[in-house]
A and B are shown apart, each in its own frame.
Chain A
């Protein structure tokens, strides 16, 4: 029963207490446990996860409203609701918002909340860097959306192919916002990926060997390796485009010998792995939900893990299948066609194994399970259309038509969003301590499912019938009228499905049934602690002996170990990550308007950099710090 402050138990390791200064550059470190400041300065991975999640859902709604406007414009031929550039801004922002501001941060929310709990850790490896990622993400997200009120939103499609985004054909600030915003988001993602990679490699509970990790943790580490490798290419491309736009460089300026096709290679070397960044975490979530509600271990666990890693690896070998029509030559087209079709194999393996998990199980049709089943079925349909355009010859017809739009919405809504909403319903009791309402949840699910298929299945038909994507209107005699009308109706049904889900969430927050620690009879470590978890997660770090360790302990009747009496060392909150985010935002705004008025905006940009520099020094000098928590005295839960 040592209560000495010399030896502290952190994540199963013991080390001596570093000498931290009492005061930072901004006076004493923040210590608020409640209220707005406790959230702004927090470095608790759970609170950061919640903020990521709420921001992501906000942008999901925003991107959804943009989608509804797009569908309204396309509901009838020759419509005049959003003509030309307005429509282009709308679909550019819809794509950018959904990918970078909704799905990626929603995934980050799960990484943050779930991963440390599943590996038996008390926080991530770099808690302040984690807060930094959050605030830089918010800075980038706000920056891109400021464009709506500053002369026009980005309008060069989410792929931003120059020259249409270059200074010659896009003289406004639209694309400047896009370039700077994406750069900030890239900084956020790379910082987060380093953090989670380090956390998973170093901070697993004793006994939690790699092949005992939950599949969600596996998919997290694969995804973060993808982010780490895929974001440098897009950052280079964005830097080149920024130099073209802001400093008159000629990377993509044809009249000066620039090569627009280079952008497409840079972009898709990032862009294809990005697709797997969006879908692999969903696969991980489904691999958690299915075993729980089948009451069986995952069928073929090692194969699911290896096929996930293989998909991630192959993601870097297929980028040119987005470019079959750019005149690469027959051999290159054939080669990328073959590598692309190979990805169908590990994907198929996963689907077989999920069905294998259900086989012989005792399936409980709860809301999270329904979303997981929706993931499997809808992702499979998206996989079929994927096989169809992996055949390059067939893709020559399908490329840039609504067939492609149908395909990636099946993968991203039917796939990623299904899984993520399943994940929300699954972990909601762990996050809030209360269950979501099952009846309303099922209504929301079925309306979502029907609306989704109504909206996106007919787009296959539209595409094969010749409707190109990214067109703001179409002529009445092309045979596209009926299905476009139908899709728009479907989009509103889908919106109702989302709305009911949100109503359920916010209603359950107050009135939901009290969940208890383990409402689903879960299999992994997060279900062994209270809901919501205390600040330090685990009073005593668990000793892991099996895959699905908590399930195994429950089955063999071994109660969880009681507190060993060691005080728990937790890091202190900090102002500096937030200040870094503000500094980067100011810097971004200065850069965007630099060419308008050097005298005003250069000082603003420099000011932003100075603020950032100040925050980094303050961060470095305040030291890791820390406080000792007695788990018998403090509950520490954030709500």
Chain B
């Protein structure tokens, strides 16, 4: 009797701890890239499908797992009895057929919400406001273009809330993948191919994104941010972003611009100047960005100065190979460049 009780206790503990894991996670996981703490239509649909799959799995775990552990404890050989030969049964057609039909039905429980979610993801609902964005993957940063607004920016995407953002996803080099887990699932950026997805945010806020297709040395550092604003704030941002870059004012900033135009401009563009490089991120309003190096560092004086001096140390493999090209700037030039760039609000 006592042995049976401990067996049952063990069984309950085992099954229970497995079962508890998933719901517990859901409550605990509300971090920066949680797929549970979703604030977008698509993310919500995908989470719903996930819960259906969890429900089916939990049911199977209880039933199949229960029978498994029951059989394990019930039919264990008793000490000294392990030579006993039990009845040699070969199977039962009735049980098999019933189980096959039951598993097919369980799969249907998942298939229906899954199909519904896929069609929701396919295109934005009729009558919803739509804004077009082009997201372009580079090794290892994201370029964002707003074709209707004439804006090009990098690594920080600003969107209005409750608007379907219709995104064309491309790549200029290798395969990347665009993912903002709290808004929607991912879509790959393939060279030579344009993929489309849409997403929306139903609350203003800052949402983390990250490249999820392995893309080389600094794949881990290809992150980005999505800022969702109320419409009025977004309009304010887009007006400022559309304008030309601010002219340098102080002596230091003027020298900084001069330094910039002696090399940086071949890869970077600044609207309103003759810097028109297309290789690196557009820096027209660089000073207004919160982060540096694809959300690798905070955009402050210390990190920016280090970045300009030792880009390879700051982000291995990136195309800014100043160390190798022996293009080390003097400390004064670096300071001036930093103050010029920080002024580009």
Task: Name A residues whose Cβ lies closer than 8 Å to a Cβ of B.
Answer: 83-85, 88, 156-157, 161, 163-164, 169, 254, 258-261, 294-297, 299-303, 325-327, 330, 333-334, 337-338, 341-342, 344-345, 348-349, 351-353, 355-356, 358-365, 373, 376-377, 380-381, 384, 387-388, 390-401, 457, 460-461, 464-475, 477-480, 555
Contact = CB atoms under 8 A, between A and B. Distances in A.
Contacts of A341: 107, 110-111
29 contacts: A85-B217, A161-B213, A254-B191, A260-B175, A296-B86, A302-B91, A325-B186, A327-B193, A334-B114, A355-B68, A358-B71, A358-B72, A359-B75, A361-B75, A362-B82, A387-B53, A393-B117, A394-B46, A457-B21, A460-B21, A461-B29, A465-B31, A466-B31, A466-B34, A468-B210, A471-B220, A478-B208, A479-B29, A479-B32
A391 B52 contact: yes
B61 interface: yes
Given A348-B99, A349-B96, A384-B61, 12 more contacts: A163-B175, A326-B190, A349-B99, A353-B91, A359-B71, A391-B50, A391-B114, A395-B185, A466-B31, A466-B35, A479-B34, A555-B85
Contact of A396 (B84, B92, B184, B218): B184
B56 interface: yes
A6 to B, nearest CB: 45
A393 B121 contact: yes
B91 A301 contact: yes
Nearest 7 interchain pairs by C-beta = A396-B185, A466-B33, A479-B31, A471-B220, A393-B117, A327-B195, A254-B192
A365 B76 contact: yes
Interface string B210-243: 1111111111110100000000000000000000
B107 A342 contact: yes
A362 B64 contact: no
Nearest to B84: A362
A74 to B, nearest CB: 10
Nearest to A328: B195
B88 A161 contact: no
A397 B50 contact: yes
B81 interface: yes
Given A163-B174, A351-B64, A394 B49 contact: yes
A471 B219 contact: yes
A156 B85 CA distance: 54
B75 A362 contact: yes
A594 to B, nearest CB: 24
A373 B31 CA distance: 36
Nearest to B82: A364
Contacts of B187: 325, 327
A394 B196 contact: no
Nearest to A462: B29
Contacts of A469: 212, 214
Contacts of A474: 220
Contact of B110 (A351, A387, A398, A467): A387
B100 interface: yes
A83 B31 contact: no
A299 B89 contact: yes
A184 to B, nearest CB: 25
Contacts of B47: 397
Contacts of B13: none
A169 B173 contact: yes
Contacts of B213: 161, 400
A377 B68 contact: yes
B224 to A, nearest CB: 13
B86 A473 contact: no
A327 B196 contact: yes
B316 A464 contact: no
A388 B190 contact: no
B35 A360 contact: no
Given A325-B188, A345-B100, A478-B31, A396 B88 contact: no
Contacts of B88: 296-297
Contacts of B215: 164
A388 B219 contact: no
B207 to A, nearest CB: 11
B65 interface: yes
A469 B215 CA distance: 11
A398 B34 CA distance: 11
B121 A330 contact: yes
Nearest to B192: A254
A83 B312 CA distance: 12
A394 B100 CA distance: 24
B212 A468 contact: yes
B107 A84 contact: no
B327 to A, nearest CB: 21
Contacts of B262: none
Contacts of A479: 29, 31-34
Nearest to A83: B316
A401 B212 contact: yes
B60 interface: yes
A259 B29 CA distance: 39
A301 B99 CA distance: 16
A65 B282 CA distance: 43
A355 B31 contact: no
B313 to A, nearest CB: 10
A460 B34 CA distance: 12
Interface in B88-121: 88-92, 95-96, 99-100, 103-104, 107, 110-111, 113-115, 117-119, 121
B166 interface: no
A376 B61 CA distance: 12
A181 B75 CA distance: 48
B57 A384 contact: yes
Contacts of A325: 177, 185-188
B21 A358 contact: no
B267 interface: no
Nearest to B30: A479
Contact of B107 (A157, A344, A376, A401): A344
B181 interface: yes
A400 B107 contact: no
Interface in B1-55: 18, 21, 25, 29, 31-36, 43, 45-47, 49-50, 52-54
B114 A84 contact: no
B77 interface: yes
B46 A393 contact: yes
Contacts of A85: 217, 316-317
B63 to A, nearest CB: 10
Contacts of A397: 35, 43, 46-47, 50, 181, 185-186
